[in-house]
Amino acid sequence: MREDLHKRLVAVKTADAINAIKGVPISADAKLRSEKWVRGESTGEQMKQELLALHRKIAEEEKRE
């Protein structure tokens, strides 16, 4: 379990670093979901689905404006 936590933490830090290099901001919502995944409170698939739903909601709100 501890090894999984370490691997997940490294994966999140790597993804955050790549996004930072490319100038992509990381939202507080994405950080929160990543932290839940690192701690094993959600699966990778759940995290992806939650982020997709969030981005769809944001896109829909932007369309209305």
Q: Mind listing the pLDDT tens digit for each residue in 5-34?
A: 999 999 999 999 999 999 999 889 889 999
Which of 38, 57, 60 has its CA nearest to residue 47? 38
The residues spanned by each domain of the chain are 2-64
User: pTM of this prediction?
Assistant: 0.77
Encoded tokens for 3: 């090894």
pLDDT tens digits, one per residue of 52-62: 999 899 999 99
Helix (H, G, I), strand (E, B) or coil at 34: helix
